Amino acid sequence: MNEIRMQTKLSPAQVEADVRRALEEDVGSGDLTASLVPAEQRATATIICREAAVICGQPWVDEVLRQVAPDAQANWLVQDGERCSPGSKIVEISGQARALLTAERLCLNFLQTLSAVATKTAQYVAAVAGTRAAILDTRKTIPGLRVAEKYAVRCGGGKNHRMGLYDAVLIKENHIAAAGGLTAAFRAAQALTQPVDFIQVEVETLGQLREALDAGVTMVLLDNMPLQTIREAVKMAGERCSLEISGGVGLQTLRELAETGVDRISVGALIKDIKAVDFSMRFADKPVERG
């Protein structure tokens, strides 16, 4: 039976590109305010997390420093995927004061966003603990930051659904309508010349599920089905296919949904409905001696 594949490696090239875009947006031709600080001045700064969170963003912070402050030294006190309590020191950084000032907001932006995704994912993962259901993300991501946000989902204990339109087939409502029916769309997917080991079909009714099973579909997405219908779908499918739930999933009903016996629950809110985690960078009161 097909399974959702989990991306395990983070591409340094992707992280570099994310940071390069962020620098172009924020720094542009130069940091005017940081230029007020003497060029030879050095400093030590600490990034602090102001609330309980699952930390995520180290590769992006390290890359910001590499591009902006290549001589800076970072000592990470909390690693990606680890929990911290309010007031925790996350990383201590020493280097050229101007460069650290320029890097400050970008480092915090990556940390506050990615840690928010990781923290929310961890809440959902904890809610289904002990069931067979895995928590997955969706493609509802900030344009240009999908790799980063899906990495954050993994740091929170979740799994990744497809990365994009290129690495899997997900036959949804509009595909079925445009292709002339569920079975026709599935047969077309099976006939693709490009090798595809991930073909999933979305269904909205038990009748569609029955058609999918008869067609030999092994991965089915139950879209916005009521709880009792999901229970009936699990009984109908048995071990003939894996079942995933999507649509309107929240923490209040998550446990009950997981206990129906589905294999996966995909949650758009892991990424698109987050509240940034509160981080701050504080420079040491006593400046480091100028070099």
Within this chain, do residues 97 and 167 fall inside the same structural domain, yes or no? no
Residues 57, 108 contacting (CB under 8 angstroms): no
As for how many domains the chain has, the answer is 2
- Each residue's pLDDT tens digit, 19-56: 999 999 999 999 999 999 999 999 999 999 999 999 99
Q: Which of 202, 244, 263, 264 is catalytic?
A: 202
Within this chain, do residues 48 and 160 fall inside the same structural domain, yes or no? no
Which CATH number fits the domain that encloses residue 58? 3.90.1170.20
Q: Which of 3, 51, 211, 223 is catalytic?
A: 223
1: in domain: no
146-172 per-residue burial string, b: 16 or more CB within 10 A, e: under 16? bbbbbbbbbbbbbbbbbbeeeebbbbb
Within this chain, do residues 137 and 267 fall inside the same structural domain, yes or no? yes
Q: Which of 66, 89, 105, 231 is catalytic?
A: 105
DSSP per position, 11-33:
-HHHHHHHHHHHHHHHTTT--TT
Residue 163: give the domain boundaries. 130-272
Among the ranges given (97-111, 127-141, 149-163, 273-287), the one the predictor scored with the smallest mean pLDDT: 273-287
**What is this structure's pTM?**
0.93
Q: Which of 140, 231, 240, 255 is catalytic?
A: 140
Catalytic, 26? Answer: no
Within this chain, do residues 221 and 188 fall inside the same structural domain, yes or no? yes
What pLDDT is stored for residue 195 in this prediction?
83
What pLDDT is stored for residue 200 in this prediction?
97
149: in domain: yes
Catalytic, 223? Answer: yes
Q: Is 282 helix (H, G, I), strand (E, B) or coil?
A: strand
Catalytic, 172? Answer: yes
pLDDT exceeding 90 applies to what percent of the chain?
A: 91
289: in domain: no
Q: Give me the half-sphere count of Cα atoms (radius 13 Å) on the Cβ side of residue 48.
A: 11
279: in domain: yes
Within this chain, do residues 143 and 221 fall inside the same structural domain, yes or no? yes
Catalytic, 71? Answer: no
Per-chain mean pLDDT for the chain: 94
Q: Which of 172, 210, 231, 240 is catalytic?
A: 172
- Each residue's pLDDT tens digit, 127-163: 999 999 999 999 999 999 999 999 999 999 999 999 9
Within this chain, do residues 93 and 137 fall inside the same structural domain, yes or no? no
290: in domain: no
Catalytic, 9? Answer: no
Which CATH number fits the domain that encloses residue 192? 3.20.20.70
Report residue 238 as tokens: 């048995």
163: in domain: yes
**Burial group, residue 178, by CB count within 10 angstroms (0-12, 13-18, 19+):** exposed
Q: Average pLDDT for residues 64-78, to the nearest whole number? A: 97
